[in-house]
């Protein structure tokens, strides 16, 4: 049986000291506080976890701290995407050995012109063949500069150990096509709170949402209202969260999310350079949205 992904999952930012060294105690504290909500689990080392800025040893440390902090009845999803198939397999096996339930794999993107459908399918299938845990496809055009089309996603999904998709592109028509063309065992998650409700209407089972780190209750309320058939309530909440969600995703990104976490009593702390903290005017604008 594949894990049930239905629900809301925050992609946890990685906590650093001011000197940019890992701060495991704060990772643990943030997980404990977030899981006071009825979340399905926690994603570590997604895009908001600054995966590409950590060494392999640091990634392993984050995986271990997360598994120690996440109870067995909650999912631990680990971001393991690398630029080579070899690296991705190594990280995925490392995550599994640390106790992760699933691996979230961002596609390789550095050699964009060579990332054909055949290359991407082969990459994902080799990773899935080598993995002891189920694999989720991660389509994140905002960071990768590539938006995998439905044909490619469906070909990748045609593997028994690839059980779902996190799509952060926001193309609802494409999500709907993937959902329609895959079986019941393949689960799609919205990758942005700004289109959570449209994704649910298309057949998504939930979302991995940056906003869930700071407004978990709003994300859960959208899911609950939709499940209850109260579509007006769901729409009202959906419209209300869009400005804040834009600020912490497309406008200012990880530094804004961390600043928002600091403001509400979680630990955000510093982002790792080259990411820079918000200037005072940006921070003031962000606080007004909270």
As a three-state string, the secondary structure of 126-142 is HHHHHCCCCEEEEECHH
206: left (phi over 0), alpha (psi -120 to 50) or beta: left
C-alpha neighbours within 13 Å on the C-beta side of residue 171 = 16
Residue 166 a catalytic site member: yes
User: Looking at 59, 166, 174, 218, which residue is catalytic?
Assistant: 166
Find the DSSP H helices in 70-149.
85-97, 117-130, 141-144
Those residues with Cβ within 8 angstroms of residue 103's Cβ, 6 or more apart along the chain or in another chain:
77, 78, 79, 80, 91, 92, 95, 96, 127, 131, 133, 134, 135, 136
Q: How many CB atoms lie within 10 A of CB 53?
A: 16
Active site residues: 166
């Amino acid at each position: 049986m594949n894990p049930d992904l239905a629900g809301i999952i925050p992609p946890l930012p990685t906590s650093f000291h001011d000197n940019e060294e890992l701060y495991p105690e704060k990772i643990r504290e943030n997980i404990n506080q977030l899981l006071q909500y009825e979340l399905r689990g926690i994603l570590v080392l997604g895009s908001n976890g600054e995966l590409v800025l950590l060494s392999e040893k640091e990634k392993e440390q984050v995986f271990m701290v997360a598994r120690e902090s996440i109870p067995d009845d909650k999912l631990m999803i680990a971001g393991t995407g690398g630029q080579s198939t070899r690296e991705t397999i190594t990280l995925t096996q490392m995550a599994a050995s640390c106790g992760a339930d699933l691996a979230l794999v961002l596609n390789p993107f550095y050699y964009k012109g060579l990332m054909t459908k055949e290359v991407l399918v082969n990459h994902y299938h080799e990773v899935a063949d080598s993995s002891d845990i189920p694999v989720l496809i991660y389509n994140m055009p905002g960071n990768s500069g590539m938006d995998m089309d439905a044909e490619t996603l469906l070909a990748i999904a045609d593997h028994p150990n690839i059980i779902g998709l996190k799509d952060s592109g926001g193309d609802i028509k494409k999500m709907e096509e993937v959902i329609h063309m895959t079986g019941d065992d393949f689960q799609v998650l919205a990758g942005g709170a700004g289109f959570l409700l449209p994704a649910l209407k298309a057949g998504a089972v939930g979302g991995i949402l940056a906003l869930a780190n700071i407004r978990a209750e709003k994300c859960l309320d959208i899911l609950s209202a939709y499940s209850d058939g109260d579509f007006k309530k769901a729409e009202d909440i959906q419209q209300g969260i869009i400005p804040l969600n834009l600020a912490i995703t497309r406008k200012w990104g990880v530094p804004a999310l961390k600043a928002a976490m600091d403001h509400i009593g979680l630990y955000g702390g510093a982002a790792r350079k080259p990411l820079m903290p918000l200037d005072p005017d940006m921070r003031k604008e962000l606080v007004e949205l909270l």
